[in-house]
Structure 1
Amino acid sequence: MPRVLTDERRDLVKAITDFCRRECGTKEQRDLLTAGGRDHHSQQLYEKMAGLGWLGIAVPEAYGGAGMGMGELCLFLEETAYGRAPISGFSTTIIAAAAYEKFGSEEQKRTVLEGVVRGRIEAISMSEPGAGSDVGALSCRAERKNGGYVINGQKTWCSNAHLADHILLIARTSQEESKHAGLTQFMVPADTPGLEIRGIDTMGGREVNDLYFTDCYLPESAVVGTEGQAWPQLMTGLNLERMILAALMLGVARRAFDDTLDYVRQREQFGRPIGSFQALKHRIADNATELECARLLLDDVAAQIDAAPDKVFAREASMAKLKCTELAKHMALEGMQMLGGYGYATEYGMEALLRSSVVSTVYGGTSEIQRDIIGRTYGL
């Protein structure tokens, strides 16, 4: 079912679609850009997008961006994911950039936001070996010393730290009665002495990292916002993080569905296309319906956020993240089943969609956490 878009949004979608088809539309092109699929980010492609002004889509005009809203940002994310553009650095960059925009000093804003527009990458680090879903359990310490702070501790699962100019670090500056109090955000240049970035190999290739801080000194100017207020600051960014992940996975779900549909239309067994058999025809119908429901949900929540950008839509954003990530995983699994052996062949790409979609139900708040958040909004 076609979307009803403004002329401006329709032109944006068409431009992104054409770009992805031209620059990374074949497996051979993507392999060249990503070291055979091992890397998730191509700086070469990323900087081409920067030249077209797309990376600043959600950056204020005062810092060189286009100053657009959640609706346009979601369209960009969805279409680049659908087009398989290897630009994984964008999602963490825009999440971190939003925090600097809201709470950073003017110097921090100019450094980061103007860098985003030019194609620089940012990362954000919260998780620790003993603190994943329970963000309040963070123990990485930042102690005042010599007019600044000394950081000691370990972070983990930090996406794109190995590519980033800076890492937005959440560390504990004091121990308070509430575990969510006493946390502070810091802007850490990736080349700061005392910081070691060590990659974690996963089934999806190189994307996440362990961070080790050993007597890592930061000046007082590295604080982003107010000391001890990282938790309420982080809460203001929940809409953005969840919507980014939802939009990306809606694009992945669409790609998995379309690739599966193309296959079952063409693949013949017993003298006719396999998609004509009721067992597959009905699954395609169900999947198409679920895809349309997810798209309508995402578009509606994005419109609500654009209408009230300062409001936290905890329920709605969690619903979008939950629905789109779970649907992407389902669509990729369905594709694997309907493609049969070809679903496992790297040539067809369905296995790559499965790898990228499975992890989406874990990062950015697991599906279980999203369900818990949604339940709490109903007083449960």
Structure 2
Amino acid sequence: MAVLNEEQTMLRDAAKSWVQEKSPVTAFRKMRDSGVELGYDAAAWNEMAEMGWAGVIIPEEYGGSNFGYLSMGLILEETGRTLTASPLLASGLAAASALVLGGSEEQKSEWLPKIAGGEIVGTLAVDEGAHHAPEKVALKAEKSGAGYKLTGAKSFVLEGLAANLLIVSARTSGKPGDTDGITLFLVPADAAGVTRKRLHLADSRGAANIEFAGVEVGADAVLGEVDKGWPLLEKTLDRARAGLAAEMLGSALQAFETTLDYLKVRVQFGQVIGSFQALQHRAAKMFTDLELARSAVEAALQAIDADTPDVPELVSLAKAKMGDVFHLVSNEMVQMHGGIGMTDAHDAGFYLKRARAAEAAYGSQSYHRDRYARIQGY
């Protein structure tokens, strides 16, 4: 494990205590069964914001605490354990990162305090197809007077229904697949021409497809540089990917620990099933894989905090490794629980469904293995 300072230890312990008391898996089940459109409990999110979690990576002058990405990862790991659904990843990490990295003083002053306080929810609207491919931007941003007119659509936008602020990647020149010609825009979700359609995902989280029908924005809506938005987009996505990997780590750890406890109490053929060597070997593999995954995730978060040049490869390593491990552990959780693991009455299905959705978000294992290889020069 990473060596934590006093603030980080306190933050992790506070998060652990809160999720166990206020947001156990039973709370997620209740939220899912209620059919709430946003995909999270608004009251729980307000509490998280009051504790300052939405402002962990935001500088103090904009209402945050500036504790860094490893600190945010510690919180996300704990929320991942109990499958706590919230806009923390999409808003407090992804959208906040885009503004911190690329925003003008006016943009930061307008939006960051609201994100830090939980007054608004921000999110990235990047992908346009069934798979993560941020360079394949087709949504057009054409010059219109002093500003721009956005036309196109975005798919699988995390927290797309709840969001008040959309950070949209658009094409101001070039063709889909070109990294040049991409520009990021800040678009209020209630702008004329924006329509949102709720998606019903397997993990019951909030997501939406969003259409932009000639949405007019001013020149001040440009985040960063016109036509040069790719480096900012990649940096922002890497921070979101690392945060998601930390959340997946927490979920996988809890799935493993729950399964391990079951192996110690379930009796079959007159003995505890944890005494069977075959199951011991499978548990040992999960344990070692989780330890390796933790090292990868924490290395990525620490690299982001230190702003080292190897951030992209470490992030892709962490996301790919964590995807594989969470996939394995969630499968084993269902299998080792036997018949009850196949039912909705048990929590195992929640972890398996979350694993599948999280694997696909911000790039699957195959996407990140390919990216890692390209960075390495293969």
| TM-score higher than 0.5 | yes
Amino acid at match of 1:250: L
CA contact (8 A) 1:305 1:311 kept: no
* 1:177 shift after superposition: 11
Return the alpha-carbon distance in structure 2 between the equivalents of residues 132 and 348 of structure 1.
30
Q: Which aligned pairs between 1:157-236 and structure 2 lie closer than 5 A?
A: 157-175=156-174, 179-205=178-204, 207-236=206-235
Return the alpha-carbon distance in structure 2 between the equivalents of residues 177 and 290 of structure 1.
37
3-state SS in 1 of match to 2:200: strand
Q: Cα gap change, 1:312/1:104 in structure 2, threshold over 3 Å: closer, same or farther?
A: farther
Residue 328 (structure 2) aligns with: 330
Residue 83 (structure 2) aligns with: 84
Residue 122 (structure 1) aligns with: 122
3-state SS in 1 of match to 2:216: strand
CA contact (8 A) 2:151 2:213 kept: yes
CA contact (8 A) 1:31 1:37 kept: no
Q: Cα gap change, 1:185/1:165 in structure 2, threshold over 3 Å: closer, same or farther?
A: same
Q: Which aligned pairs between 1:273-288 and structure 2 lie closer than 5 A?
A: 273-288=272-287
More contact order relative to length (CA 8 Å, sep ≥ 6)? 2
How many residues were matched structurally?
Answer: 375
Unaligned runs of 5+ in 1: none
Deviations 1:95-154, CA, capped at 9 Å, x for gaps: 11111112112232123211122113111111113x844433321111111221111112
Q: Cα gap change, 1:237/1:340 in structure 2, threshold over 3 Å: closer, same or farther?
A: same
Amino acid at match of 1:333: N
TM-score by length of 2: 0.93
Q: Is the deviation greater in 160-169 or in 137-146?
A: 137-146
Q: Cα gap change, 1:254/1:178 in structure 2, threshold over 3 Å: closer, same or farther?
A: closer
Amino acid at match of 1:286: K
Unaligned runs of 5+ in 2: none
Return the alpha-carbon distance in structure 2 between the equivalents of residues 304 and 229 of structure 1.
24
Residue 362 (structure 1) aligns with: 360
Q: Cα gap change, 1:290/1:310 in structure 2, threshold over 3 Å: closer, same or farther?
A: closer
Q: Cα gap change, 1:123/1:175 in structure 2, threshold over 3 Å: closer, same or farther?
A: same
Q: Is the deviation greater in 221-230 or in 308-317?
A: 308-317
Q: Which aligned pairs between 1:287-366 and structure 2 lie closer than 5 A?
A: 287-306=286-305, 308-309=306-307, 311-366=309-364
TM-score by length of 1: 0.93
* 1:356 shift after superposition: 0.8
Q: Is the deviation greater in 33-42 or in 294-303?
A: 33-42
Return the alpha-carbon distance in structure 2 between the equivalents of residues 310 and 111 of structure 1.
29
* 1:26 shift after superposition: 5.0
Provide the aligned C-alpha RMSD in A: 2.0
